[in-house]
A and B are shown apart, each in its own frame.
Chain A
Amino acid sequence: MNTSKRWLPLTFKIALLTLLLLWTLIPIVWMVLSSFKPNDIITASTPHVFFTPTLEHYTSLFSSGNSLWPYLLNSLFIAGVSTLIAVVLGCMAGFGLSRIRIKGKQHLAFWIISTRMAPIAAVIVPLYLLFRYLYLLDTHVGLIVAYLSFNLPFAIWLMTAFFDDLPPDLEEAAMIDGATKLQAFRYVVLPLMTPGLVTTAILCFIFAWNDYAFAQTFSGPSTQTIPIAAAQLLTQTGIDWGKLLAIGTIVVCPMAIAGLLVKRWLVKGLTLGAVK
């Protein structure tokens, strides 16, 4: 057995781990569980673990006059398009940035990363004026552009990290065999990049799907995304917790599953390749 793994007493280890798991999971489990509770049980003064589950909150979300569908479609469309653009352009630029040797490359890389790190609150102010001036408030294009402001630099930087791990010998060998750079990229490099592309796409999608601040400021009646639907229920007096928890579950579950699917590459993704 691995000696480094034998430390602190086993019971202590289990106790600590259980504590951390409870701390992490209780709110999530409680949200999902409560989204199936009838209203009087949600708002009971003592917590109920046992109850007859109901789908009423979910059905009311999709059937009532103020249906969740438009929000859901807005979210899917805006996050999807912004992800697509970010991944395609980011993949191309990532390859270029990884392979190019020019003076000031580091400054270029720094500029790219610094745009990603800009505080959202500071970015919102000039973008708001710009969007107002260009009539992009309450448009899908506006939100797609806003999400590109963080997803594009993210995709470029992350794809660069993936391309850096791929030895240039592969393309060079293809080029010696007579392929052009474009052919080498298209037929040799790109097929090997599938994990990188999928990871980048999933993370970009999650960032865009999860955004609240940009959507809150730039969206309007016809472009509101699903986090806005949740927030709107929250600000009204007499919160409809059942509906709210159902929305929460709908927002969270697909993203948690998608995120766990790329778990292997998550460290590279979320540290932008800083950890090998």
Chain B
Amino acid sequence: MALTTGKPSAQRQGFELAMMSPALFLLALITLVPFFSIIWMSFNDVSLMGGLAFEFSGLENWKRVFTDPDIRSSWLISLVYFLATVGLEMVIGTVMALLVYSLTRGSNIIISMLLIPMFIAPVIVGLLGRFMLDPSHGLYAWLLNESGLFDGNILGSVGSAMVAVILMDVWEWTPLVALIVLAGLASVPEDTLEAAEMDGAKYSQKLIYIILPSISNILLVALLIRAMDAIRFFAIIFITTNGGPADSTKIIPIRLYDIAFRFFDLGYAAAVGITMLVFSIMVATAFTKLLKRQETSS
């Protein structure tokens, strides 16, 4: 920084540009081509019968996106799924982090154990969910049955299926929130906490007035990361209920997959896909804005 006080000349950036160019060229190729083709597809009737055929259909697909009651209900289910998973993950993850942070011994081994679900492939999380909830020999199904809490087919009933897929996502991703929050807790001012303790502050007071405010930025980072991934992934539901029973877990990515690869209505799927892209770009924008703010404040 100190060495370059004037405007950086194009020549001096040559090496940096050369280092970036292969990756950027490849990335452009594998993202921009699909990006522009999905936009073009959304204005066409795309047929796979006897080779690829595009037939311009104007705003037809877009009219459907905004009038189709199935799409509307899928967005609504997505919203419930999204709020429930991200909300639960934030709350449980924060509690998890506070608990691990409060340990004087063994926190390393305990956090390691708590992190394991994060590394499990979503398809295996789904399969494990089906195994644990299997009505005839699943461990959790048996426990629920024995305790008299629930005795139906958990993944096969409206309502309980949704709760189950939400909890599977929460099971897998809460550790990520805990890990991020734990990193944030290192920055809580220790002397302020001690001073508050001297003045007789209760834990809840310290939590509300000292701990939470000093990790608010990091909580926001965790929230955005989870928000992005919650709309990105769909493999758990894909493998457990595939949107059923009676479309009760048909979040928007599953609906999109159905439209594209069950009904091969690819133009319409493209239009739905763009609405999802718009949503994720909004979250991405928030994420980078937050990053910038963090950089300037630190």
- Give A contacts to B, CB under 8 Å: 1-5, 7-8, 13, 16-17, 20-21, 23-28, 30-31, 34, 42-47, 89-90, 92-93, 95-97, 99-102, 106, 108-110, 112-115, 117-130, 132-133, 145, 148-149, 152-153, 156, 168, 172, 181-182, 185, 206, 209-213, 216-217, 227, 230-231, 234, 241, 244-245, 248, 251-252, 255-256, 258-260, 263, 266-267, 270-271, 274-276
Taking the closest CB of chain B, its distance from the CB of A136, in whole angstroms, is 11
- Interface-located stretch among B64-72, B116-124, B155-163: B116-124
Residue in B closest to A267 when the chains form the complex, CB atoms: B183
Convert B110-136 into 0s and 1s, putting 1 for each residue whose CB lies closer than 8 angstroms to a CB of A.
111111111111111001111110001
Q: Given the known A-B contacts A31-B128, A95-B19, A275-B183, are A8 and B41 also in contact in the complex, defined by CB atoms under 8 Å?
A: no
Instruction: Collect the chain B residues with CB atoms within 8 Å of residue A217's CB.
Output: 261
Verify if B233 is at the interface (C-beta below 8 Å from A).
yes
Task: Determine whether the beta carbon of A13 is less than 8 Å from that of B3.
Answer: no
Taking the closest CB of chain B, its distance from the CB of A164, in whole angstroms, is 9
One of B22, B272, B285 near A93 (C-beta < 8 A): B22
A-B contact pairs, 5 of them (CB 8 A): A24-B175, A26-B139, A211-B121, A274-B221, A276-B294
Task: Determine whether the beta carbon of A148 is less than 8 Å from that of B123.
Answer: no
User: With A and B bound together, what is the CA distance between A252 and B125 in angstroms?
Assistant: 10
Interface residues on B, range: 35 or more
- Contact count A vs B, C-beta below 8 Å: 307
Task: Determine whether the beta carbon of A45 is less than 8 Å from that of B20.
Answer: no
Task: Determine whether the beta carbon of A28 is less than 8 Å from that of B116.
Answer: yes
Taking the closest CB of chain B, its distance from the CB of A46, in whole angstroms, is 7
User: With A and B bound together, what is the CA distance between A23 and B96 in angstroms?
Assistant: 12
User: With A and B bound together, what is the CA distance between A136 and B184 in angstroms?
Assistant: 44
One of B95, B117, B228, B290 near A117 (C-beta < 8 A): B228
Task: Determine whether the beta carbon of B27 is less than 8 Å from that of A129.
Answer: no
Taking the closest CB of chain B, its distance from the CB of A154, in whole angstroms, is 11
Residue in A closest to B279 when the chains form the complex, CB atoms: A119
Task: Determine whether the beta carbon of A96 is less than 8 Å from that of B190.
Answer: no
Task: Determine whether the beta carbon of B121 is less than 8 Å from that of A255.
Answer: yes
Q: Knowing that A20-B114, A119-B232, A119-B276 are A-B contacts, what are 20 other residue pairs whose CB atoms are under 8 Å apart, sorted by A's residue number?
A: A4-B197, A5-B103, A16-B95, A110-B285, A113-B287, A119-B273, A120-B233, A121-B257, A122-B274, A128-B260, A145-B30, A148-B26, A172-B3, A210-B119, A212-B235, A227-B123, A230-B123, A248-B128, A260-B115, A271-B221
Chain B positions 280-294 with a Cβ under 8 Å from a chain A Cβ: 280-281, 283-285, 287-288, 290-292, 294
Residue in B closest to A272 when the chains form the complex, CB atoms: B225
Verify if B246 is at the interface (C-beta below 8 Å from A).
no
User: With A and B bound together, what is the CA distance between A1 and B142 in angstroms?
Assistant: 45
Task: Determine whether the beta carbon of A3 is less than 8 Å from that of B197.
Answer: yes
User: With A and B bound together, what is the CA distance between A123 and B37 in angstroms?
Assistant: 11
Verify if B75 is at the interface (C-beta below 8 Å from A).
no
Task: Determine whether the beta carbon of A117 is less than 8 Å from that of B283.
Answer: yes
Task: Determine whether the beta carbon of B287 is less than 8 Å from that of A251.
Answer: no
Verify if B154 is at the interface (C-beta below 8 Å from A).
no
User: With A and B bound together, what is the CA distance between A96 and B225 in angstroms?
Assistant: 25
One of B52, B121, B203 near A251 (C-beta < 8 A): B121
